[in-house]
């Protein structure tokens, strides 16, 4: 069995850094292991315009740990008032890498999102024209649709019609959680890709209720049945370039998670690579980890893979990792997967 693995430095194609004190506390969890990350725009208020993205990028850069060689890649939050010209300028001047579509009400800070994709058709058409990718939170928001079905229904009723109406639009199904999503991506052209999170490879919906309610496993889209988790694992280790890592690391302080109405989000940046090595080892596919974490996403976004490397070493005993990150606003619990971890980034 391999005991050491060296891969190109990974990129995280979906991360939440937040702002202010939380951002300052979580940045190093990403910059220690990743060369780049695609930063989600769901701040309060959201990152909507090119100028918002420039200002947010500057706040991130001003707070990067000393000596870190890390590039934040920015996104805009698509609203029904988004100006296609501003989006095009932001892309052509290198400020943004993608635009994020949140269906209004689907998740954390999505109130300014889109109620009907027909209302953003002109922006989507412009994006298709200029080759700018659209990152999609793929869930319907109709409360009468069962929460475990919202991704599959979104594919049929929103995503596929939207893609058919906008030929050439490059779309990433963010944090795909279902076998339906995996099959949909596999059945389409190279324009369509998907990110997969660390936690959706490791937990299914039973883990949410194992011995009691587990707020730190609650995220959106919610973890699904075991066969869906297995489909995600198969896609992640397949080497198929359309599937790549987006951790969806989404820090919330413990007070907001451990509450009568807890926030959705799993904070997994600090131990994501240990988790992924464990998953890929269990799948007998350590040789595919580099494609998933370091190559496929870069290729999709048209950037060169990192010329740096990281090395993971397998330990004989389970490794321990930091359980909480302290912030001025409170502690944030790090993802604690339901299995031992044996791999450490050295």
Residues at the contact surface with ligand DOR, assessed by CB under 6 A: 16, 42, 107-108, 137, 219-220, 250, 264-265
Paired tokens of 99: 């635009």
From the list ligand DOR, Zn ion, none, pick the one residue 264 interacts with, judged by a Cβ distance below 5 to 8 Å according to partner type: ligand DOR
**Size (the chain), residues:** 346
Minimal distance, residue 1 CB to Zn ion, in Å: 34
Burial class (CB in 10 A: 0-12, 13-18, 19+), 319: middle
Q: Say whether 215 sits in a helix, a strand or coil.
A: helix
Question: Residues in contact with Zn ion, total (CB under 5 A)?
Answer: 1
Q: Which is nearer to Zn ion, 180 or 248 (CB)?
A: 248
Helix (H) or strand (E) holding 212: none
Query: Of 1-9, 76-84, 193-201, 247-255, which part binds Zn ion (CB under 5 A)?
Result: 247-255
**Concatenated DSSP letters of 49-114:** SHHHHHHHHHHHHHTSPTT---EEEEEEE--TT--HHHHHHHHHTTSEEEEEE-BTTSSTT-TTSB
Query: Is 248 near Zn ion (CB under 5 A)?
Result: yes
248 an active-site residue? yes
Minimal distance, residue 16 CB to ligand DOR, in Å: 5
Which residue out of 11, 52, 180, 248 is catalytically annotated? 248
Closest CB to Zn ion belongs to which residue? 248
Q: Which is nearer to Zn ion, 276 or 285 (CB)?
A: 276
Q: Which is nearer to ligand DOR, 9 or 16 (CB)?
A: 16
Site for Zn ion, residues 19 to 58, rule: CB under 5 A: none
Q: Which is nearer to ligand DOR, 16 or 33 (CB)?
A: 16
Question: Which 8-state DSSP code applies to residue 324?
Answer: E
Q: Which is nearer to ligand DOR, 9 or 137 (CB)?
A: 137
CA–CA separation, 294 and 96 (whole Å): 20
Minimal distance, residue 224 CB to ligand DOR, in Å: 14
Give the pairing type, strands 324-327 and 330-333. antiparallel
Q: Which is nearer to Zn ion, 52 or 248 (CB)?
A: 248
- HEC profile for 220-252? CCCCCCHHHHHHHHHHHHCCCCCEEECCCECCC
Tokens 């971890």 correspond to 341
Minimal distance, residue 218 CB to ligand DOR, in Å: 7
Minimal distance, residue 268 CB to Zn ion, in Å: 11
Query: Which positions ≥6 away from 214 have C-beta within 8 Å?
Result: 207, 208
Query: Is 11 near Zn ion (CB under 5 A)?
Result: no
CA–CA separation, 147 and 167 (whole Å): 29
Query: Of 217-225, 244-252, 268-276, 277-285, which part binds Zn ion (CB under 5 A)?
Result: 244-252
From the list Zn ion, ligand DOR, none, pick the one residue 108 interacts with, judged by a Cβ distance below 5 to 8 Å according to partner type: ligand DOR
Minimal distance, residue 175 CB to Zn ion, in Å: 6
Question: Which 8-state DSSP code applies to residue 339?
Answer: S
Query: Is 139 near Zn ion (CB under 5 A)?
Result: no
| Residues designated catalytic | 248
- Kindly list the residues in this chain that would bind Zn ion in the complex (CB under 5 A): 248
């Amino acid at each position: 069995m391999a005991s050491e693995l060296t891969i190109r430095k990974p990129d995280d194609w979906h991360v939440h850094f937040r702002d202010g004190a939380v951002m300052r506390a979580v940045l190093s969890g990403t910059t220690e292991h990743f060369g780049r990350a695609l930063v989600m725009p769901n701040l309060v208020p959201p990152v909507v315009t090119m100028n918002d993205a420039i200002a947010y990028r500057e706040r991130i850069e001003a707070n990067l740990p000393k000596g870190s060689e890390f590039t934040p890649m920015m996104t805009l939050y698509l609203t029904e008032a988004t100006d296609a010209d501003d989006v095009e300028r932001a892309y052509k001047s290198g400020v943004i890498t993608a635009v994020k579509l949140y269906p209004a009400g689907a998740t954390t800070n999505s109130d300014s999102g889109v109620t009907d994709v027909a209302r953003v058709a002109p922006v989507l058409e412009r994006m298709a024209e200029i080759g700018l990718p659209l990152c999609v939170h793929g869930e319907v928001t109709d409360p009468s649709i069962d929460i475990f079905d919202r991704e599959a229904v979104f594919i049929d009723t929103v995503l596929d019609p939207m893609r058919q109406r906008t030929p050439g639009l490059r779309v990433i199904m963010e944090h795909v959680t279902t076998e339906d999503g995996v099959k949909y991506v596999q059945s389409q052209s190279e324009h369509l890709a998907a990110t997969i999170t660390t936690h959706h490879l490791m937990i299914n919906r039973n883990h949410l209720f194992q011995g009691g309610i587990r707020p730190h496993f609650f995220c959106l889209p919610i973890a699904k049945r075991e066969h869906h988790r297995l489909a995600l694992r198969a896609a992640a280790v397949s080497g198929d370039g359309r599937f790549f890592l987006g951790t969806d690391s989404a820090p919330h302080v413990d007070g907001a998670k451990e509450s009568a109405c807890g926030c959705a989000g799993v904070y997994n940046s600090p131990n994501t690579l240990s988790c992924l090595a464990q998953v890929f080892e269990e799948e007998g596919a350590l040789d595919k980890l580099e494609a998933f974490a370091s190559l496929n996403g870069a290729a999709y976004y048209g950037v060169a893979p990192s010329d740096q490397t990281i090395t993971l070493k397998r330990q004989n005993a389970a490794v321990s990792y930091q359980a909480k990150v302290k912030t001025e606003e409170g502690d944030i619990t790090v993802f604690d997967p339901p299995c031992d971890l044996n791999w450490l980034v050295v």
